[in-house]
Structure formats: structure tokens, C-alpha cells
Amino acid sequence: MVSNADELNVVLLRHGESTNNVLLRKITENISDSGQKEHEWMSQRTDDPALTPLGRAQAAQAAKVLARDPILNLKNNALIYTSGFLRCMQTAQPLAEALDAPVAVHPDIYEVGGVYAYGSNGEGRVGGTGMSVQDMAQHFPTYDTAALPSEGSWYTGPWETDAMSRVRCERVARWLRSPDLRSEAAGRTVVLVVHGHFISTLLSTLCGIDEDAARDVNGRNMYKDRPVFFAFRNTGVAHLVISDTSVMVLRTGDVSHLHPMLEATSAVASAEVPQGRSLSYAVVSALPVLLALNSVRVFLSSRL
């Protein structure tokens, strides 16, 4: 897609299915008590999970379809930035190959909460340990890690609260609107390989949507219990056009590339999108919808 010199095309791609996604689905399906769910989740989850075989297949399929998308025109025309989490770096691999695009690991586009673990002294969630640049160089030798710490875990913060994540997303939004990034992109599309909760908070930030901080829960990250949230299945895609003063959302939550795999991913979809909820969250219908949000033009279209 061609844009003006003061605009930047941005594609957001959620990672493929991870081992933690499978675990959370299992816990959600079998346990009703919220306290027990939290205990099982924190005691069994992995700080930095890998993709499952299905997740790798989803990533490969997304890369294949995005590379030939005539609207996005990403082939030899993209810059890829990935979260430092393993599942995102794995998702970016087939995409980089399909698009013949460079990949840089960005220190600010990680999942809400950051890398976290369960404190051994009963203090709840605490900062965890991610990969080092040396680990990344071994497994992803072509990735640019210059923006990360040269030693130790790429993630050095505590467990991140939702309030902290909103501050970070403001910072990322400023970066996406910056002339420096437009200059670096030089007409190419910026692709962020990131996470579901992060995408929802970033889109809310860009669109000027209040997440209602009163709904934050002490000691946990709250994704869906918001006035609006953007639901993204694994490898869901968003397409934005961003300028200094506006954002146009052309596509969000698009998983049409997974149609050949729809039967295999139906369980994932039903677990991730709550049933019986009112339209207090952003569910994208099959019909185009135009919303006016201050300087935001939102053309919501999903090919589910």
C-alpha cells in the first residue's frame, strides 16, 4: 500500500501458538475457581515459552500469505521488529525469509507483564529471566540485537503492572509516529511481531481509547475486562497507517491466512474469544465498520 511521505504503514502480527497458550486453555477448560486457576497457571507456566508445532505451522502459513498480499506489498519492502520473547522471534523467522526483510529485536514491544515468574517467598509475580544476546545470536544469528543489554537477560525489569504497560505503549506510540522511524523505513512497511495483550493496549493508546484504570487488578494483568479490547487469535494481523496526528486502522484481528488450518485452530479461537459477552470489547465482524474516534479513522474488517 502506498502512503504519503508523512505516513507510515505498520503491520502488527501476533505470535503463533505457544506452549503457555496450550496450558492456559487447559486450565481454563478444567478449572472454574479463579484462585485455583491463578495457582495452576503460575506454578506450571514457562517464563519464556516456545512455539508449539501448531504455532510453527501458523507462523509459516502467515508468512506465506503475507508475502503475497497485494495490498500490503511486503516482499522486499518491510522492516521487521520483534519482541525479545522466544515465541515472537520464532514467529518472525519464516516471515523474514518470505519477505527478504531484516529483523531487529526491539526492547519495548514485549508482552504486558514482561518476563515474570512466581516469587519464591510468596511475594507474587516478580521479574523473570529472558534470553541474552548471546543466546539470540546462537539461535537467530541474523537478528539485530544492538538495542538490547550486551550481557545477561534482555529483560531487566520487574513484573510489569497494567499501568506500567500503558506508559510503555505511549512510548511505543510516540516511536511509531516519529519522523526518525519514517526516515529509517524509507517508504517500507514496519512489521511488529508481538503479543495479544500488548497489541490491544497499543491500539487503545493509538486510538485514544481509555482502558479504565479502575479495572486494573492488584497483582495481575487484565486483558479482556476493559471497556474495549482488541481480540487477536494466534498470528492475527492488524494493518495501520500512522501519521503525526492520526491513525487509520485498515485491518485488525485478521486470521484469513489460517483458513487452510481453520479446523486445527478452532479450539484456540474458542478459548481466546469469550462467549456470551456483550459488545464491550472490539469484536471484528465480517462487515466493514467505520468508527470516528477523534483523529482516528477505523475501518474494521476481518476475514475470519
* The three cell numbers locating residue 229: 479490547
Q: Which among 282, 279, 182, 269 has a CA at the least distance from the CA of 233?
A: 269
State how far the alpha carbon of 122 is from the alpha carbons of 19, 37, 117, 219, in Å.
25, 17, 11, 12
φ/ψ region of 236 (left if φ > 0, alpha if ψ in -120 to 50, else beta) reads beta
Instruction: Please list the ranges in the chain whose pLDDT falls under 70.
Output: 1-3, 122, 262-304
Tell me the H-state helices in the chain: 19-30, 34-44, 53-67, 86-99, 133-139, 162-177, 179-185, 196-207, 262-272
The pLDDT value recorded for residue 2 is 52
Q: What are the cell numbers at 151?
A: 550481557
As a whole number of angstroms, the distance between CA 297 and CA 290 comes to 7
Q: What is the Cα 24 distance to its own chain's centre?
A: 17
Amino acid identity, residue 271?
A
| DSSP letters for 42-108 | HHH--SSPPBPHHHHHHHHHHHHHHHT-TTT--TT-EEEEE-SSHHHHHHHHHHHHHHT--EEE-TT
pLDDT digits (tens, 9 = 90+) for 80-121: 999 999 999 999 999 999 999 999 999 999 999 999 998 877
Task: Say whether pTM exceeds 0.85.
Answer: yes
